[in-house]
Amino acid sequence: METVRSADGTVIAYERAGSGPPVVLVSAATCDRSVNAPIAELLSAHCAVLNYDRRGRGDSGDEAAGEYSPALLLEREIQDLRAVIGAAGGAAGVWGSSSGAVLAAEAAAAGLPVTRLSMWEPPYGLTEEDSRGHLEYVRRLHGLLAAGRHGDAVELFFRAAELPEEFIAGMRQSPMWAGLEKIAPTLRYDAAALGDGLLPAGRLGALRIPAQVLDGGASVDILRAASRAAAEALPDATYRTLDGQEHNVAAEAIAPALAGFFCR
């Protein structure tokens, strides 16, 4: 493990493996870098991979934890990613999963030296109803976190993601639940990255870098629709479906697609 300091002094932890063109991996909500470790291992055979803990997760700190505006929360995470890209050599390709894909795109739009962008199933909304649902989720999330109800905040997130009730009940009884409660405050960052919840067609359309949008053939319709829309909004993007994959994509399925895009 290595560390780098973000602009506000927060220590960001990451692991580096392999050599060649650098690629930074950005995890999804409720995840630390361990989730992307299998992808990092396979991808590091082809290029240099930096797999980091987003702030407040794993071995990364959060010096400014608390209630802040969505714009400030997003700015902090963009600065974290800037620091990791700096550790990679000053410029890098970036892959993000789910809300991590949204953060990666926002970072590129903010002018970070992202050479190539790959997105796995970004959870953008496409209608005003989607936006209203997201903003209501954000309101309830902040209320639960302010009340210290971290377990209920995680449950709210799972319900917003339309996970089955039996899955949620099982997770509450699993050994993983304590870890999820610990990082529940980081759900504010994922919500902030999404803004009003809608696909930011203008910002994506202004990105003049090669891009790749991937989804799973067995994933839910709303995520596949969002992935297609993101690919259409990006000026220089390829869109590809990985047959048989759900939102929790298998490392052996996605690593070859990422290697072909980043490491050639």
Residue 194 lies in a domain: no
In this structure, what token pair is assigned to residue 211? 């891009």
pLDDT value for 264: 79
Same domain membership, residue 85 and residue 9 = yes
35 with 58, same domain: the answer is: yes
Average pLDDT of span 233-252 = 97
* 43 and 89 fall within a common domain: yes
> Both 208 and 154 in a single domain?
no
pTM: 0.96
CATH number of the domain bearing residue 207: 3.40.50.1820
Are 12 and 6 in contact by the 8 Å Cβ rule? The answer is yes
Instruction: Count CB atoms within 10 A of the CB of residue 209.
Output: 16
Tens of pLDDT, residue by residue over 85-100, are: 999 999 999 999 999 9
Give the end of a domain, one of 145, 165, 189: 189
pLDDT band at 198 (very low <50, low <70, confident <90, very high): very high
User: Which pLDDT score, from 0 to 100, does residue 199 have?
Assistant: 98
212 and 171 share one domain: no
Do 107 and 206 sit in the same domain of this protein? yes
Q: How many CB atoms lie within 10 A of CB 196?
A: 14
| Confidence at residue 164, expressed as pLDDT on a 0 to 100 scale | 85
Domain shared by 137 and 111, yes or no: no
CA distance 76 to 53: 14
Q: Which of 49, 155, 136 is nearest to 95 (CA)?
A: 49
pLDDT given for residue 63 in this prediction = 83
Q: What is the pLDDT of residue 64?
A: 73
pLDDT of residue 131: 97
Separation of alpha carbons 121 and 41, rounded Å: 21
Q: What distance in Å separates the CA atoms of residue 161 and residue 140, rounded to the nearest whole number?
A: 14
Task: Examine the domain organization and report whether 173 and 51 are in the same domain.
Answer: no
What domain range includes position 240?
Answer: 2-126+199-262
Q: Please check whether residues 174 and 81 belong to one and the same domain.
A: no
Find, among 193, 186, 203, 204, the residue nearest to 71 by Cα.
193
- What would the mean pLDDT of 151-171 be, rounded to a whole number? 92
State whether 139 and 257 are in the same domain. no
Pairing assessment for the beta strands 211-216 and 237-242 based on DSSP bridges: parallel
CA distance 143 to 141: 5
Count structural domains, the chain. 2
Which of 191, 157, 162 lies closest to 69, judged by CA?
191
